[in-house]
Amino acid sequence: MSDVVEKTLSALPSLLSLDSQAGAGKLSPSSKLGNLIKGITELTSKHEEEKLIKKELESIKEQVASPNTTMRQMKEIMVRAIYCEMLGYQASFSYIHAIKLAQQGSVLEKRVGYLAVSLFLNETDEFLLLLVNTVLKDLQSTNLIEVCMALTVVSQMFPKDMIPAILPVVEEKLTHPKEIIRRKAVLALYKFYLIAPNQVQHIHSKFRKALCDKDPGVMTASLHIYLQLIKENPESYKDLTGSMVTILRQVVGGKLPLDFNYHSVPAPWLQIQLLRILAYLGKEDQGTSEMMYDVLEESLRRAEMNHNITYAILFECVKTIYTVHPKSQLLEKAAECIGNFVLSPKINLKYLGLKALTYVVQQDANLALPHQMTIIECLDHSDVIIKRETLELLFRITNAQNVTVIVEKMLEFLRLTCDDYSTIDLVGKVAELTMNSVFSLGGDVMQPDIPNNFLRLLAEGVDNVEDRQLRLFAVDSYVSLLQGVTAKLPQRFLQVISWVLGEYSYLREEESDPGSVMRLLARLLDQRHTSTETRSWVLGAMTKLCSSPVSVALARDVCERYLSSLYSGSLNTVLRQKAQELMILSQDTKLRARVLPAEGRLESLEVDSSLSFLDGYVSEALAAGAAPYKSPHQRQEDLVQEKALSLEPYGLSLPVSLSSCSITDRLTDRRSPTLLSMSSGLSGNSTELSHQEGSTTLKLEGVKRVWGKDGYLAQQQSAGETPTPLVELPNPLLSPQSPPSQTQKPSSGLEPDQEKRQLASSLFVGLGSHNSVCLVRLPSTVWLFIKHCQSANQSHVFKALFKRFYINSCQSISCISGSPLKEVKGHSVSVCLHTVVMKRASVQVELAGLLSYQRPLGQPQAAQFSLSLSLKHFLRPLTVSTGDYGKMWLSFSHDLKQNLRLVTTEHQEPLTATLDALKGKLHLHVVDIIGSEGIVACRLLQGPGQGQPCLLHCRVNADSLAVWLRSPVPELPDSLLYHCQKALTET
């Protein structure tokens, strides 16, 4: 204790010396302020402090009201009032007296008056009106201090509409002989420019004069203005580049008086300011940038690493170099500089280094490579700020391959800082931003828990300002995303967007018309690539949103379309259900208000899973003679016993003539050694395959792999060991298929069997009785092979070929190529090969064509034909490993679930039997069967070489087979499911 007293006493001289300086009336500890402070320091609780200050304010109030209080006393009272206000207690009664003090006091008292005014009042206060005349008077005073005070108060807070009153006087001060006045006037005018740019428009020339002022201080002050002006409109100030470069060169060269040195660095703050201006001027402007290369280089060179302030200059220099038109030599030096920052043991520099890196990696991600180790270290740094900056940096170098790791790191960070509301906002934003890029980059490859985590982050927490802002931010960014092109956005991301918009759009309701979000969502529904699952999310969001008349109308419109013809082809019950719900809710506002109460958003709902609230209804129904409830399982059992109608939601109602298909299947198994054109075509195909594979690999090499699953990849050799789902995905598709072996010999004079004949005649009505058509299936493509046989009494061969294909069925099938007509000698046939693929998966397509031919002697003739092809003609087994299957499964967005009938045979497990049946009929590949689950894969021929995959996950569930289909193609699961149902019912 004694040494503390000693220390306190040792402070006395300074207090006293100050006292003697300031004069007796100044605040000595004996004053009332002294007593007040003494009183406060003795207190132990906030409550007592409140009581004391209240008492103090009472006494101040009494004193200011008293007519006997002199200006000098008033000054002292004001200081006490300032003290109380600083502690957060309002002393509003003293405001008017502060103005009075500024109006009437002597210079000294006036100063306290002005100070109190600038601390108490703001530009919206009406009291300020009372001050205008005083300010005007003081501005014109001959006392420099009064002028300075007035300029200070004017730049602190001056209402927009009062600027004209004093503007001419302030303008005048630009030519004042004293530089300090000129400086303050410049800054005051800058403040005016910020408040009301139009009012100072006419004095821009005077700003230029200030820039050229002989006093460097005034010039420095004017740079504030120019920084702002150039930032707003760099084009208009390009002519200043030369001057700025000259000024900087002089400053760097030490041409300024030594007074301007700070730790022997010439005017560092001025340098920083100039470098910023140059950055704005040189941005995306080669010509201007070239003017500044020299001086930038000199700045870099001169700023030796010896004091903190030189680091500030270096940092600014580096930023400028990376902002202006690039010059490789400078970039190199700047990169080196950044390296020094990042590696610095000084934590502030490390922080700035990371910031600089964050800034530059946007231009060249390679710059982060040499600092991998440091970045990793920073990720575990004890300082949260450093950590956050590192994450920000990682966020910038996020690409498809490191997405998962970086998101993991971010979530980790989020978990750590969860308790802190002030940081959660920023972290949330980082995560939010990342999510956007991650979702759009990685999209469907991501583990589903990542978006879930994100949504939880958004939804959790009380309804405070931070959460609200975060949500609003999310809503706004998603709305702007949806306004752009949405075709590329992954389905899962669209689902997240729909949810967020549905939940939180009300936050922005005030500022935009309520229909806009609805319209965006409706647009999503209309897009073809939107998967059914996403659609149901979108509909859910719309249900939450339809509160205003505009949105109700929109919702109704959407529902009507959904429930009517346009979407009737949709096989999804969930969608129909949701649309129906939305329809009803949009029509009945009362019901809607009950179901979706506006204020209920924040309450978590308790789900009554036993549905006890329906008990009354059930007992009533039972009493009225209704049958007791049976579980689906029971019902199915009953059904099997009764052999009643199948209750499978989608009956096999599509009219399909499958005669053609069955022929094909049988022909498939026949082998033929001939038909050269085919095999040559195939070998061409296979080389193309391998070529494609090669090119994919090459591409992968080109992509930087900085971050792998375990963080970063230190060496190149480890790059190959960190496959990411996205990269691996195409591989199973590209892996060589089983060798093309099945070829079909055209006719060879054999008598076609009866069925074939029948088909042929149906195809080539009018061509003759001996014509036939075959469809030959090959592993990679479908070949439509049309043969024209020689008729019995004619020796001529028809040069038959497809002149033209015209395609119906919505372009869902296309003819890829036709090989040149080839005459197979000795067989008297002409062969023309066309490759047919399915452009868009559908259950069945019609292939129609026109065959024109000419007999050697005679008129050209034409015949139309059509052929119905089913999806299964375009399906091929997809050979993948279980691991690859798993990866692909996660990446596909379009899915569908359905229960199918199990095939029961005597000597096989039901699952194996069912899968075998599917395999046989639909050419699927059974990847694996584990216990009661089986996974199956196939692909759809959609182009040369490869096809879109579809994966099936089958699980035996009681006596049915729960099938879950997934594919990147929207329509494929639907159509395939249809064929599966069909195949199983036929068995």
Residue 327 contacts another protein per CB under 8 A: no
Closer residue to another protein, CB minimum distance, 413 or 885: 413
Q: Least CB distance from residue 457 to another protein, whole Å?
A: 16
Instruction: Considering only the stretches 81-89, 444-452, 749-757, 872-880, report the one whose residues sit in contact with another protein under the rule CB under 8 A.
Output: 81-89
User: Which of 45, 46, 47, 86 is the binder for another protein (CB under 8 A)?
Assistant: 86
Closer residue to another protein, CB minimum distance, 348 or 866: 348
Cβ–Cβ under 8 Å, residues 402 and 706: yes
- CB-facing half-sphere around the CA of 841: CA atoms within 13 A: 26
H helices within 23-70, ranges in order?
32-42, 46-65
Q: Residue 262 pairs with which residues in a beta bridge? A: 265
Question: What is the 8-class DSSP label of residue 736?
Answer: P
Query: How many CB atoms neighbour CB 944 within 10 A?
Result: 17
Closer residue to another protein, CB minimum distance, 346 or 594: 346
Residue 423 contacts another protein per CB under 8 A: yes
Q: Least CB distance from residue 629 to another protein, whole Å?
A: 54
Q: Which two tokens stand for residue 494?
A: 């669209």
Q: Which of residues 344-383 bind another protein (CB under 8 A)?
A: 346-348, 350-352, 382-383
Q: Least CB distance from residue 951 to another protein, whole Å?
A: 43
User: Which of 462, 465, 627, 645 is the binder for another protein (CB under 8 A)?
Assistant: 465
Q: Which two tokens stand for residue 174?
A: 């630009």
User: Which of 170, 174, 272, 937 is the binder for another protein (CB under 8 A)?
Assistant: 272
**How far is residue 96 from each of residues 91, 102, 148, 150, 932, measured CA to CA in Å?**
10, 10, 22, 18, 85
User: Which of 150, 188, 356, 554 is the binder for another protein (CB under 8 A)?
Assistant: 188
User: Which of 388, 578, 840, 921 is the binder for another protein (CB under 8 A)?
Assistant: 388
Q: Least CB distance from residue 83 to another protein, whole Å?
A: 6
Q: Least CB distance from residue 30 to another protein, whole Å?
A: 4
Q: What angle do the packed helices 372-379 and 384-396 form, to 10 degrees?
A: 130
Backbone torsions φ then ψ of 124, nearest 5 degrees: -95, -5
Q: Least CB distance from residue 11 to another protein, whole Å?
A: 5
Residue 217 contacts another protein per CB under 8 A: yes
Residue 425 contacts another protein per CB under 8 A: yes
User: Which of 87, 591, 622, 958 is the binder for another protein (CB under 8 A)?
Assistant: 87
Q: Least CB distance from residue 174 to another protein, whole Å?
A: 15
Alpha carbon 541 to its chain's center: 19
Closer residue to another protein, CB minimum distance, 217 or 540: 217
Q: Which of residues 584-623 bind another protein (CB under 8 A)?
A: none
Alpha carbon 965 to its chain's center: 28
User: Which of 52, 227, 563, 807 is the binder for another protein (CB under 8 A)?
Assistant: 227
**How far is residue 458 from each of residues 455, 466, 508, 606, measured CA to CA in Å?**
5, 11, 16, 20
Q: Across the chain, how many H-helices and E-strands are there?
A: 41, 18
3-state secondary structure (DSSP) of residue 896: strand
Instruction: Considering only the stretches 1-9, 52-60, 522-530, 765-773, report the one whose residues sit in contact with another protein under the rule CB under 8 A.
Output: 1-9
User: Which of 96, 129, 385, 614 is the binder for another protein (CB under 8 A)?
Assistant: 385
Cβ–Cβ under 8 Å, residues 430 and 391: yes
Closer residue to another protein, CB minimum distance, 89 or 853: 89
Question: What is the 8-class DSSP label of residue 125?
Answer: -
Backbone torsions φ then ψ of 776, nearest 5 degrees: -110, 130
Residue 573 contacts another protein per CB under 8 A: no
Residue 624 contacts another protein per CB under 8 A: no
User: Which of 276, 544, 787, 921 is the binder for another protein (CB under 8 A)?
Assistant: 276
Question: What is the 8-class DSSP label of residue 754?
Answer: H
Instruction: Considering only the stretches 268-276, 327-335, 440-448, 494-502, report the one whose residues sit in contact with another protein under the rule CB under 8 A.
Output: 268-276
Residue 62 contacts another protein per CB under 8 A: no
Residue 458 contacts another protein per CB under 8 A: no
Q: Least CB distance from residue 145 to another protein, whole Å?
A: 6
Residue 945 contacts another protein per CB under 8 A: no
Residue 462 contacts another protein per CB under 8 A: no
Closer residue to another protein, CB minimum distance, 308 or 589: 308
Residue whose entry in the numeric block shows the structure tokens 């015949």: 863
Closer residue to another protein, CB minimum distance, 279 or 938: 279
User: Which of 126, 259, 380, 599 is the binder for another protein (CB under 8 A)?
Assistant: 259
Dist CA 933 CA 957 (whole Å): 9
Q: Which of residues 152-171 bind another protein (CB under 8 A)?
A: 152, 155-157
Count of residues that bind another protein according to CB under 8 A? 105
Residue 858 contacts another protein per CB under 8 A: no
Q: Which two tokens stand for residue 230?
A: 């150039």
**How far is residue 11 from each of residues 17, 34, 42, 189, measured CA to CA in Å?**
10, 15, 20, 42
Torsion from C-alpha of 62, 67, 70, 76, nearest 10 degrees: 20
Closer residue to another protein, CB minimum distance, 190 or 865: 190
Instruction: Considering only the stretches 298-306, 418-426, 493-501, 535-543, report the one whose residues sit in contact with another protein under the rule CB under 8 A.
Output: 418-426
Instruction: Considering only the stretches 32-40, 702-710, 798-806, 917-925, report the one whose residues sit in contact with another protein under the rule CB under 8 A.
Output: 32-40
Dist CA 887 CA 902 (whole Å): 27
Among the listed residues 397, 398, 384, 473, the one whose alpha carbon sits nearest the alpha carbon of residue 428: 473
**How far is residue 33 from each of residues 66, 77, 840, measured CA to CA in Å?**
19, 8, 85
Amino acid making up residue 133: N
Cβ–Cβ under 8 Å, residues 380 and 391: no
Closer residue to another protein, CB minimum distance, 187 or 789: 187
Dist CA 317 CA 279 (whole Å): 9
Q: Which of residues 117-136 bind another protein (CB under 8 A)?
A: 119, 122-124
Q: Least CB distance from residue 212 to another protein, whole Å?
A: 19
User: Which of 22, 593, 850, 862 is the binder for another protein (CB under 8 A)?
Assistant: 22
Instruction: Considering only the stretches 37-45, 495-503, 530-538, 754-762, report the one whose residues sit in contact with another protein under the rule CB under 8 A.
Output: 37-45
User: Which of 56, 138, 213, 316 is the binder for another protein (CB under 8 A)?
Assistant: 316
Q: Residue 818 pairs with which residues in a beta bridge? A: 834
Q: Least CB distance from residue 176 to another protein, whole Å?
A: 15
Residue 42 contacts another protein per CB under 8 A: yes
Q: What angle do the packed helices 328-343 and 347-360 form, to 10 degrees?
A: 140
Instruction: Considering only the stretches 149-157, 297-305, 525-533, 562-570, report the one whose residues sit in contact with another protein under the rule CB under 8 A.
Output: 149-157
Instruction: Considering only the stretches 13-21, 359-367, 752-760, 901-909, report the one whose residues sit in contact with another protein under the rule CB under 8 A.
Output: 13-21
Residue 17 contacts another protein per CB under 8 A: yes
Residue 88 contacts another protein per CB under 8 A: yes
Intra-chain end-to-end CA distance of the chain, in Å? 99
DSSP string, 155-189: HH---GGGHHHHHHHHHHGGG-SSHHHHHHHHHHH
Closer residue to another protein, CB minimum distance, 44 or 565: 44
Closer residue to another protein, CB minimum distance, 157 or 368: 157
Q: Least CB distance from residue 4 to another protein, whole Å?
A: 4
Dist CA 981 CA 987 (whole Å): 10
Q: Least CB distance from residue 649 to another protein, whole Å?
A: 51
- CB-facing half-sphere around the CA of 427: CA atoms within 13 A: 25
Cβ–Cβ under 8 Å, residues 953 and 932: no
907-915 — which CB contacts under 8 Å span 24+ positions? 910/956, 910/961, 911/954, 911/956, 911/961, 914/954, 914/961, 914/984, 915/954
